[in-house]
Structure 1
Amino acid sequence: MSFERIILIIIDACGVGALPDAADYGDAGSATIPHTAESAGGLNLPNCQKLGLGNIIEIEGVPPADAPIGCFGKMASQSAGKDSISGHWEICGLALGKPLPTYPHGFPLSLVTEFERRSGVATIGNVTASGTEIIERLGREHMETGALILYTSADSVWQMAAHEDIYSLERQYELCRISRQLLSGEHSVGRVIARPFIGTPGKFTRTTGRRDFSLVPPSDTLLDSMTKQGLGIKAIGKTWDLFAQRGFSSHVKTYNNAEGVEAIADFIEKDTQHEMAFANLVDFDMLWGHRRDVQGFAAGLEAFDQDLGKLLPLLHEDDLLIITADHGCDPTYIKHTDHTREYVPLLIYGRHAKSGVNLGTRATFADVACTIGDIFKVEHKYIGQSFLQDIL
């Protein structure tokens, strides 16, 4: 017997140890969850533990389960890079051969000038910066001149911050569309992001009006294949944006882990229209990883584990739960504040799935796509190997 529904949860940035080529990315020795546990004096994750998290790698406070109720393993990335887009795309069967472009010294002047010409709007900034820091530094000038705050990060992103009293949300989104159209070829950044804020100098606050305009996948992913076969997929959180809104039947916008878990629970309990929920829990990356907030990251992991304990009993007889991540973002890693290139955990649970199976070290994140494709008998040519027969 196989499965009727898949609940695929990405615990964003929750890596479990450096990949062999991590040094090439400046990430030698990174290990997000293990280092967080060590720095926090141990983690209390009883539900992840019983699924087999502690059987994957040594994690302080999370010993190996003698009889895990789930299947467990870890996965390596075959994509170049270490960002959200490449991680999620590979999970859905598409590996990138070269990393998406980044701009540690700001964007080329010719690119910025062309954006200003097309949009009729001046820009300030054009630096790598924290979003909260740059609006405090340039927010007053933005409000006085109307110039957009343009900045990037260690990720492949073109970000524009603007006060909602100066540019309406719709105007900010229009400017993002202009940028998205401009950023092609060698400048095909992963995401163009609107970063609206409100308030007064010294008291600026980013709002929930953020919107991501992602690069379109260059070829079909698992989502496209399932959709073409008439299978329904619900996006929960930023998965909707990471695939340029392609391949989904519907979506639920969420702003934090709590809202994401609530949407997942609602799907499990009530949804009869979709064969898969594809959820991303973003706080690990957005709130704690990049900010190198070890205690916040540890508390977030323990909160997720408590939520997991509430989700597991809700699963239907024919549901399959898959928990993994898209990259690392080790909050103890002080050489930079970027993502870290790591293995990601793989935890599988379902009432019709075997328990205690060690799925080993998978060669690619795309093994998830191959497995889900096999469950729904979707024709595909993804890289990787299905582990369906291992868990049945």
Structure 2
Amino acid sequence: MKRIFLIVLDSLGIGSSADAYKFNDVGANTFGHIAEKCFLGEADDIKRQGGLYIPNLIKLGITHAARASSKQKLLGFNDNVHLLGSYGFASEISSGKDTTSGHWELAGVPVLEDWFYFVKKNNSFPEDILNYIVNSNNITGILGNCHASGTEIIQNLGEEHIRTKKPIIYTSADSVLQIACHEIFFGLSNLYKLCQNIRYFLDKKKYKIARVIARPFIGDNQSNFQRTGNRRDFSIKPFSTTVMQKLINEKKGKVIAIGKVSDIYSGVGISKNIKSTGLNELCNQTIQEIKNSTNNTLVFTNLVDFDSNWGHRRDVIGYAKGLEFFDKKLSKIIELVKENDILILTADHGCDPTWNGTDHTRENVPILIYSPNLEKKFLGHRKTFADIGQTIAKYFLLSNMSYGKSMI
């Protein structure tokens, strides 16, 4: 029986990449800076104190991979570790440092051309997009039309949105069009329908925008507005065949997508979509699907909280707690890896909570591979995330991907 369990710790970069200067990210190091803050006692609160305690990730090689990537010491860790698996790190060849680019490249489809970005900080969206949103969706206007933090913009415009029913539309440094609406006063189904209509328009007009993101929130005034777990991403379809499509088409295999994975690929190459939210639920669903999975199955999980809840919000303490919580769940996942199974842990980009601004950071990502049958070794510096997709193709005896080199 052949199974792969691929878990993306969304945003867990391990040191700025060689091309980080293009993104003003030289020196960013998501994992390294969190570990440093923990060691220095600057990530303490009532529920956690001291150095970052992640024994299972360490056994899989996270600290070894981080040192190799950053070529720097990690405060609070030593090298005297009995490794369970192989480790290395990978750089991204895709043009962007966004979720879609990172995940597509992991699946063997790097994005080598630039996405369409909304560059202007204010009055960000072209008139044809704004006119379509208003005229084709029975709304009286829009709010926002700018670059913004998702939490801040609902605090600033949430009350006006409730009064007027005008959707809050904003963007960021990524290729995204985000729409925040109240779940009750605007309606969750209305928000999804609006986003779906905009996705259709963007694709029809050939705007190469990676994602339209529904950002529902609740609350009745500025002091208690909060986003809910009902976010949904309406993504552009992958530009070429992913390794997941090959698994389904060539081996009649199954791809179990957990979290926002299906959204990222616009449902393409997905057999079963499990829309979980919250780190605990995502981990529990992953464990359950591993238990249930059969031959020629890829269980593919994205742990979005590291990025959305702690990376973008520059919450070092929350990120550290999240890593320690996941590490406890990881012990159970490791126990479930049988003789011919492969567990792969990686990330899609960085989001250093100690860095300037609130955007992603251009970083190398870890590659941690565990299988009772595989040789334990240093996997080296992989030149593209697509090495993971090629490794999956090789393992399942699929036709070769166009990019990447197998690590097994």
TM-score, normalization by structure 2: 0.90
Q: Give, in whole Å, the separation in 2 of the partners of 1:62 and 1:150.
A: 44
What amino acid does structure 1 have at the position aligned with 2:221? P
CA shift at 1:155, angstroms? 2.0
Task: Please give the per-residue CA displacement for 1:125-161, whole angstroms capped at 9, x wherever unaligned.
Answer: 1111122211121112112112111111222211111
Matched-pair contact (CA < 8 Å) for 1:236–1:254: yes
Structure 1 contact 16–328 (Cα < 8 Å) conserved: yes
Q: CA deviation at 1:43?
A: 1.7
Aligned residue in 1 for 2:371 = 350
- Residue 283 of structure 1 is matched in structure 2 by 305
Per-residue CA deviation, residues 309-366 of structure 1 (Å, 9 max, x unaligned), is: 22211222221100000000011112x21000110001000111112x0000001100
Residue 110 (1) aligns with residue 128 (2): yes
Instruction: Measure the CA separation in 1 of the matches of 2:188 and 2:270.
Output: 24
Letter in 1 for 2:175: S
The CA distance in 2 between the partners of 1:144 and 1:274, in whole Å, is 52
CA distance in 2, matches of 1:199, 1:318: 49
Shift of 1:65: 4.5
- Asked whether 1:180 is paired with 2:199, we answer yes
Instruction: Output the amino acid matched with 1:140.
Output: E
Matches of 1:312 and 1:256, distance apart in 2:
21
User: In structure 2, what is the equivalent of residue 361 of structure 1?
Assistant: 381
Alignment counterpart, residue 82 of structure 1, candidates 89, 97, 119: 97
In 1, distance between residues paired with 2:81 and 2:37?
A: 25
Alpha-carbon contact 2:247-2:296 (below 8 Å) kept: no
Which range moves more in the overlay, 95-104 or 70-79? 95-104
| Residues 1:200 and 1:360: Cα distance change in structure 2 (over 3 Å) | same
1:38 shift after superposition: 0.7
Match of 2:15? 17
Match of 2:338 among 316, 321, 324: 316
Number of matched pairs: 384
Residue number in structure 2 paired with 1:209: 230
1:376 Cα offset (Å)? 0.8
The counterpart of 2:61, out of the listed 52, 73, 76, is 52
Q: Distance in 1 between matches of 2:86 and 2:281?
A: 27
Q: Which amino acid aligns with 1:130?
A: S
Question: C-alpha root-mean-square deviation of aligned residues, in Å?
Answer: 1.6
Confirm or deny that 1:141 pairs with 2:156.
no
Q: Which amino acid aligns with 1:49?
A: I
Identity of aligned residues (%): 42
1:92 match = 107
Name the stretch that deviates more: 165-174 or 211-220: 165-174
Give the residue type in structure 1 aligned to 2:289: F
Distance 2:5 2:391 in 1: 13
Deviations 1:34-64 (A, max 9, x none): 1111112132221111112222214323323
- Conserved in 1, the CA contact under 8 Å of 2:296 and 2:396? no
Q: Distance in 2 between matches of 1:241 and 1:274?
A: 22
Q: Which amino acid in structure 2 is aligned with residue 48 of structure 1?
A: L
Structure 1 unaligned spans of 5+: none
Partner Cα separation in structure 2 for residue 85 and residue 128 of structure 1: 19
Query: By how many angstroms is 1:165 displaced?
Result: 2.9
Aligned to 1:165: 184
Q: Pairwise mapping of residues 291-330 of structure 1 onto structure 2 (< 5 A)?
A: 291-330=313-352
Give 1:108 shift. Answer: 2.1
Normalised TM-score (structure 1):
0.94
SS in 2 for 1:193: strand
Given that 1:162 and 1:172 are in contact with CA atoms closer than 8 Å, whether structure 2 keeps it comes out as: yes
Q: Secondary structure at the match of 1:72?
A: strand
Letter of the structure 2 residue corresponding to residue 88 of structure 1: H
Of residues 258, 280, 297, the one that matches 2:280 is: 258
The yes-or-no answer on 1:64 pairing with 2:57 is no
Q: What letter is aligned with 1:30?
A: A
Establish whether residue 380 from structure 1 lines up as the match of residue 389 from structure 2. no
* Range with bigger deviation, 78-87 or 116-125: 116-125
Quick one: structure 1 residues 63 and 186, their matched pair in 2 at CA, closer, same or farther if it must change by over 3 Å? farther
Alpha-carbon distance in 1 for matches of 2:184, 2:83: 54
Q: 1:118 to 1:22 in 2, by over 3 A?
A: same
SS at match of 1:367: helix
Contact 1:369 1:382 in 2 (8 A): no
